[in-house]
């Protein structure tokens, strides 16, 4: 095999690994300083890690539920990959929370042994998708928001969060790209696909306002240079969301989602914006814009505590359905009715076989 030698001049690697698939894996946290940064409260840093981790865990679970139900084999893999990426992010964040908290809990304890009210994920992540269009609309919203968040988090004073964010940015960039491609493909597709994609993005918009409302823990950690203020991601989110929807020939940014900032304008805007579609659509927008969004402002102004409990969460979920964005949100542990169903499945084995190992 002496003629193989000619290739050696072209590579600086003497080993065989250049021919091997699946080599060269790297640990994203290798060499990262794990000290808690000055000015950050340990309990609050742990809580913040759980917020970002819970978003990833619950979104991942919802995506996993799609596997074997997707329209094409190739998309099964795509969604499974995205779900696994998010699960990986959740694990790293839970591990950081455990390390910072120092109370002997591990990743599994956070995922499987917490009650609904202790989860801090935003409610966008727990919504069930009615169809594939709803899935990609929700994924686009989630990935766009999370990418804006993680991108800023790479500058965090906590070196572990910064490293987790740097790894996540590459992953979520692809998630956003995947979702955006489908939203454009379906929105700018046939009459039927356009109609269903529009219904899907409309259904997601009432869940968006919550993404940009900072929790008091987040605000305190922002001051310590550790966390990202979710309100700061709003501009980037609106810009990306509007551009993808425009490319998809979908109705521009529906007024319901921006009503949190200017509720008085939500009603009048709904008419013209929805003018391309039948009257029923415009009416729906007007309703969403005027109702829950105003409720959100009022609710936040009153400063509801996390202690409002699961009763309120269940009530909100059942009463508002898709538009559950009134009052305290997932960051306070207040979830929609869907959350109980998710946890029953997610924690099912851990509950029936406590401490089981195999």
Our finding on whether 34 is near other proteins (CB under 8 A) is no
φ and ψ at residue 343, rounded to 5 degrees: -70, -35
* Helices of type H across 65-190: 73-101, 107-112, 132-153, 159-187
**Which residue in the set 30, 74, 303, 356 belongs to the binding site for other proteins (CB under 8 A)?**
74
Interface with other proteins in residues 155-214 (CB under 8 A): 174, 177-178, 181, 185, 190, 192
Residues present in the chain in total: 358
CA–CA separation, 86 and 320 (whole Å): 28
Cα 70 from chain centroid (whole Å): 20
CA–CA separation, 24 and 106 (whole Å): 28
Q: Are 209 and 296 in contact (CB under 8 A)?
A: yes
Best CA proximity match to 53, nearest among 101, 99, 93:
93
**Which residue in the set 34, 49, 60, 78 belongs to the binding site for other proteins (CB under 8 A)?**
78
Minimum CB separation of residue 13 from other proteins in Å reads: 6
Our finding on whether 355 is near other proteins (CB under 8 A) is no
Interface with other proteins in residues 219-238 (CB under 8 A): none
Decide whether 45 or 78 has the Cβ nearer to other proteins. 78
Residues 6+ apart with CB under 8 A from 128: 62, 338
- The binding track of 87-126 with respect to other proteins, each residue x by CB under 8 A or -, is ----------------------------------------
Minimum CB separation of residue 183 from other proteins in Å reads: 13
Our finding on whether 264 is near other proteins (CB under 8 A) is no
DSSP letters, 172-230, are HHHHHHHHHHHHHHHHTS-HHHHHHHHHHHHHHGGGTGGGG---HHHHHHHHTTSS--G
Minimum CB separation of residue 59 from other proteins in Å reads: 18
Decide whether 21 or 358 has the Cβ nearer to other proteins. 21
Candidates 69-77, 107-115, 143-151, 333-341 — which segment interacts with other proteins by CB under 8 A?
69-77
Decide whether 171 or 281 has the Cβ nearer to other proteins. 171
Minimum CB separation of residue 358 from other proteins in Å reads: 25
CA–CA separation, 113 and 119 (whole Å): 11
Decide whether 79 or 208 has the Cβ nearer to other proteins. 79
Return the structure tokens found at 340.
């109980």
Best CA proximity match to 171, nearest among 293, 59, 287:
59
Our finding on whether 66 is near other proteins (CB under 8 A) is no
Decide whether 38 or 72 has the Cβ nearer to other proteins. 72
Candidates 54-62, 72-80, 156-164, 344-352 — which segment interacts with other proteins by CB under 8 A?
72-80
Residues 6+ apart with CB under 8 A from 162: 153, 154, 155, 156
Best CA proximity match to 137, nearest among 206, 217, 205, 46:
205
∠ CA 24-25-29, rounded to 5°: 135
Return the structure tokens found at 154.
């790479």
Decide whether 2 or 352 has the Cβ nearer to other proteins. 2
Interface with other proteins in residues 1-30 (CB under 8 A): 2-3, 7, 10-11, 13, 17-25
DSSP SS3 for 52: helix
Residues that bind other proteins (rule: CB under 8 A) add up to a total of 29
Minimum CB separation of residue 185 from other proteins in Å reads: 7
Our finding on whether 358 is near other proteins (CB under 8 A) is no
Return the structure tokens found at 41.
């409260």
Candidates 67-75, 88-96, 324-332, 342-350 — which segment interacts with other proteins by CB under 8 A?
67-75
Give residues in contact with other proteins (CB under 8 A): 2-3, 7, 10-11, 13, 17-25, 72-75, 77-78, 81, 174, 177-178, 181, 185, 190, 192
């Amino acid at each position: 095999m002496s003629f193989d030698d000619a290739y050696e001049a072209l590579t600086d690697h003497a080993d065989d690994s250049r021919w091997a698939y699946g080599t060269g894996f790297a640990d994203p946290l290798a060499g990262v300083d794990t000290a808690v940064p000055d000015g950050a409260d340990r309990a609050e840093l742990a809580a913040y890690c759980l917020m970002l981790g819970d978003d990833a865990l619950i979104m991942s679970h919802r995506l996993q539920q799609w596997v074997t139900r997707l329209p094409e084999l190739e998309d099964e893999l795509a969604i499974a990959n995205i779900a696994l990426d998010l699960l990986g992010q959740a694990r790293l964040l839970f591990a950081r929370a455990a390390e910072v908290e120092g109370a002997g809990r591990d990743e599994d304890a956070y995922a499987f042994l917490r009650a609904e009210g202790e989860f801090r994920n935003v409610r966008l992540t727990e919504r069930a998708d009615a169809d594939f269009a709803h899935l990609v609309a929700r994924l686009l919203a989630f990935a766009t928001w999370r990418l804006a968040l993680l991108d800023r988090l790479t500058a965090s004073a906590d070196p572990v969060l910064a490293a987790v964010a740097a790894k996540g940015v590459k992953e979520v960039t692809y998630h956003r790209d995947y979702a955006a491609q489908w939203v454009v493909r379906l929105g700018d597709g046939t009459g039927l696909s356009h109609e269903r994609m529009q219904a899907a993005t409309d259904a997601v918009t009432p869940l968006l306002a919550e993404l940009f409302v900072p929790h008091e823990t987040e605000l305190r950690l922002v001051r310590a240079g550790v966390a990202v203020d979710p309100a700061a991601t709003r501009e980037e989110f609106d810009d990306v969301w509007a551009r993808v929807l425009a490319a998809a020939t979908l109705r521009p940014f529906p007024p319901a989602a921006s009503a949190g900032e200017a509720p008085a304008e939500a009603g009048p805007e709904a008419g013209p914006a929805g003018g391309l579609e039948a009257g029923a659509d415009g009416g729906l927008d007007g309703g969403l814009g005027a109702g829950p969004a105003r409720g959100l402002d009022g609710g936040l102004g009153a400063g509801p505590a996390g202690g409002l409990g699961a009763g309120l969460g269940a009530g909100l979920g059942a009463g508002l359905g898709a538009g559950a964005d009134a009052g305290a949100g997932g960051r306070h542990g207040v979830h929609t009715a869907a959350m109980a169903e998710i946890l029953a499945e997610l924690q099912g084995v851990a509950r029936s076989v406590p401490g089981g190992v195999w």
